A and B are shown apart, each in its own frame.
Chain A
């Protein structure tokens, strides 16, 4: 049995399949960072740190010894608790199609937002620097005038190309900006979404947890997400009414090429 303790939960195999399917369905659209940055792993729950390939000299070493400590980036454990009513699980086993997984859906959104926010804006307490905060380029003000978005994105792409960062390029769009883009057609009815994709040559993704937008190279080797345990559902406890569960993952994120992204502020 793994540390998720799923076998201890009063949940049938069919119930677990339903919970896992629901979680996958809710997580996949929201996990924007994974659509844009390099993904390594999963390495497993026991994997605790990412090798940075660097060492720090230890001044206070025994006579005649030269010593150094390796520098590593610890993985962060993120967990989003939720509960499911046992009556709903029983209905699912009877074949109900409209099972209420509202709390699971909310937990899936929370953990996806946390992952995106860590990658794009950093998580100081977890020793994670974000792409938007680390970029060496000037930020561009996105504003609310969608007609100007192609120009802003083109400037960002030109900036990256100008310092030798190759494409294709991707765009992580915060929810507000993404909604505006979807609603907008340019002169002649051409969808703004398509125009932006043509400029980028890569994906444009809805990115809950991102403030404004980020243009970045998706060519690989610049932004490195390492997964310890990939997103999983585990069991916490239960009583007569409900089962307490959680969505969990462990990961680290590091930036190899800060100049491979441009931040666009809201």
Chain B
């Protein structure tokens, strides 16, 4: 039976192991977000309190899975992490924080010698303190 590999947009055999793992976790993150949305809809229409308790508990699991997937991806992607740090758990205008975080992170990455996208290097780059 053919197995689906929808998370890959390029031939899997040409992708480095690290990129395949990254793609799997991205797919998992998407699935957890979808599940969170589905439970939210079910909870909105379910009248039975017992059934709602179970669904709330199940949705909590999805929250946890989503956060674990996200944390893994952020640890593997310093630029993403830096941008996330400027947006997540802040007050105020989300779009404004997003624009500022992106600008600062991209400029910072260039000055640190971050690896090129898809590179298999050790990612050491610049070591001078700013």
Instruction: Spell out A's residues near B (CB within 8 Å).
Output: 1-2, 4, 6-7, 13, 16, 20, 23-24, 27-28, 31, 34-44, 203, 218, 227, 229-233
Cα distance A27–B128 in the bound complex, in angstroms:
14
CB B93 to nearest CB in A, in angstroms, measures 33
CB A195 to nearest CB in B, in angstroms, measures 20
Q: Indicate whether B17 reaches chain A with its CB closer than 8 angstroms.
A: yes
Known pairs A13-B17, A41-B113, A230-B115; A4 contacts B127 (CB<8 A): no
Known pairs A13-B17, A34-B126, A34-B128; A229 contacts B121 (CB<8 A): yes
- For residue A44, which residue of chain B has the nearest CB? B116
Which residues of A lie under 8 Å from residue B119 when comparing CB positions?
2, 42, 44, 229-230, 232
Q: Indicate whether B37 reaches chain A with its CB closer than 8 angstroms.
A: no
B116 touches A231 (CB 8 A): no
Q: Indicate whether B95 reaches chain A with its CB closer than 8 angstroms.
A: no
- For residue B20, which residue of chain A has the nearest CB? A13
B120 touches A6 (CB 8 A): yes
A4 touches B120 (CB 8 A): yes
Known pairs A40-B113, A42-B115; A203 contacts B120 (CB<8 A): no
Q: Which one of A35, A218, A232 contacts B121 once the chains associate, using CB atoms below 8 Å?
A: A232
Q: A42-B113, A230-B113 are in contact. List 7 more A-B contacts (CB 8 A).
A: A24-B122, A28-B124, A31-B124, A34-B127, A39-B112, A230-B115, A232-B120
Which residues of B lie under 8 Å from residue A40 when comparing CB positions?
113
Q: Indicate whether B108 reaches chain A with its CB closer than 8 angstroms.
A: no
B120 touches A39 (CB 8 A): no
Q: Which one of B14, B18, B116, B122 contacts A1 once the chains associate, using CB atoms below 8 Å?
A: B14
Q: Can you list 11 pairs linking A and B with CB atoms under 8 Å apart?
A: A1-B14, A20-B122, A23-B122, A34-B124, A34-B125, A35-B128, A42-B115, A43-B116, A44-B116, A203-B128, A230-B113
Which residues of B lie under 8 Å from residue A233 when comparing CB positions?
122
CB A180 to nearest CB in B, in angstroms, measures 24
B126 touches A6 (CB 8 A): no
Within 8 A of A (CB), among B81-130: 112-113, 115-116, 119-129
Instruction: Spell out B's residues near A (CB within 8 Å).
Output: 14, 16-18, 21, 112-113, 115-116, 119-129
B125 touches A230 (CB 8 A): yes
Which residues of A lie under 8 Å from residue B14 when comparing CB positions?
1
A227 touches B120 (CB 8 A): no
CB B130 to nearest CB in A, in angstroms, measures 10
CB B77 to nearest CB in A, in angstroms, measures 16
Which residues of A lie under 8 Å from residue B113 when comparing CB positions?
39-42, 227, 230
Q: Which one of B21, B122, B125, B128 contacts A13 once the chains associate, using CB atoms below 8 Å?
A: B21
A35 touches B127 (CB 8 A): yes
B120 touches A28 (CB 8 A): no
Known pairs A13-B21, A230-B113, A230-B115; A39 contacts B129 (CB<8 A): no
- For residue A6, which residue of chain B has the nearest CB? B120
Which residues of B lie under 8 Å from residue A2 when comparing CB positions?
16, 119-120
CB B113 to nearest CB in A, in angstroms, measures 5
Cα distance A227–B116 in the bound complex, in angstroms:
11
B128 touches A36 (CB 8 A): yes
| Residue with the greatest number of chain A CB neighbours at <10 A, chosen from B21, B122, B125, B126 | B122
CB B43 to nearest CB in A, in angstroms, measures 39
Cα distance A20–B123 in the bound complex, in angstroms:
10
Cα distance A35–B17 in the bound complex, in angstroms:
31
Cα distance A13–B115 in the bound complex, in angstroms:
20
Q: Which 8 A-B residue pairings sit nearest by Cβ, starting from the closest? A: A39-B126, A34-B127, A232-B121, A13-B17, A230-B121, A35-B127, A39-B113, A231-B122
- For residue A24, which residue of chain B has the nearest CB? B122
